[in-house]
């Protein structure tokens, strides 16, 4: 399977991607995660990206495209991949199509996880992530047993810098203006299906799997 997960920030793409990795064994390519890793490592790319991320704006296409191409060329992507948070605008989607055609690994599908706009704010402001293992929680909907600590590994939970209220508003605006139109892009190609991103994580996951398995 070579798929793109679409959906607004906070729709739960990352959570679904992590479950897809477990079930199907293919890697998740999250441009947000790759950028955050570059920021933590203090690379030149990370420094450039951080100024955009802190404002909730998109990092320039040239930066992101190079990063994705490098990742797609790694051996583990031969068995398939899940793109999460990429593409984010039409220019990226077009560049991705060209890149994948050249690598002979074009997309087999796109799944959009749809969540009502009103719910996204609470999902994003409540989001907490484990520093050690990446497990995600939400203080409103799926709180850890002990405040601030991961249930799985006891690692420290943190709130992403860009999950603060002002930045979230901007990220949602950017999503509506630049990323939402991608639904039309993939509809034209006839490869996109939508899933309601409300309900339990497992319910959403079974709907995503049913689509991917063509059921």
> Is residue 13 annotated as part of the catalytic site, yes or no?
yes
Q: What is the rounded CA–CA span in Å between residue 62 and residue 199?
A: 37
Among 88, 123, 127, 207, binds ligand AMP (CB under 6 A): 88
Q: Active site includes 88?
A: yes
49 or 211, CB closer to ligand AMP?
49
- What is the per-residue DSSP string for 62-127? HHHHHHHHHHHTSGGGGG-EEEES---SHHHHHHHHHHHHHHT----EEEEEE--HHHHHHHHHTE
The piece of 54-62, 69-77, 127-135, 143-151 that touches ligand AMP (CB under 6 A) is 54-62
Give me the 140-179 binding string for ligand AMP, x by CB under 6 A, dash otherwise. ----------------------x--------x--------
Structure tokens at 72: 């797609």
Interface with ligand AMP (CB under 6 A): 9, 31-32, 35, 52-53, 56-59, 64, 85-86, 88, 92, 162, 171
Which residues are annotated as catalytic? 13, 88, 127, 160, 171
């Amino acid at each position: 399977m070579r798929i793109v997960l679409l959906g607004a920030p906070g729709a739960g793409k990352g959570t679904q991607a992590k479950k897809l990795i477990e079930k199907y064994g293919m890697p998740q390519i999250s441009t947000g995660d790759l950028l955050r890793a570059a920021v933590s490592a203090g690379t030149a790319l990370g420094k450039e990206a951080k100024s955009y991320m802190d404002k909730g704006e998109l990092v320039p296409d040239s930066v992101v495209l190079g990063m994705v191409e490098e990742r797609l060329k790694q051996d583990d992507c031969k068995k398939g991949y899940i793109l999460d948070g990429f593409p984010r605008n039409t220019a990226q989607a077009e560049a991705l199509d060209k890149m994948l055609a050249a690598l002979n690994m074009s997309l087999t599908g796109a799944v959009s996880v749809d969540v009502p706009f009103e719910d996204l704010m609470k999902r994003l402001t409540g989001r907490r992530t484990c520093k050690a293992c990446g497990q995600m929680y939400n203080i409103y909907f799926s709180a850890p047993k002990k405040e601030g600590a991961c249930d799985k590994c006891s690692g420290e939970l943190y709130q992403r810098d860009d999950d603060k209220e002002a930045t979230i508003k901007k990220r949602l605006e950017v999503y509506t203006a630049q990323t939402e139109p991608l639904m039309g892009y993939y509809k034209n190609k006839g490869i996109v299906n939508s899933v309601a991103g409300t309900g339990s994580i497992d319910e959403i996951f079974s709907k995503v799997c049913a689509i991917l398995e063509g059921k």
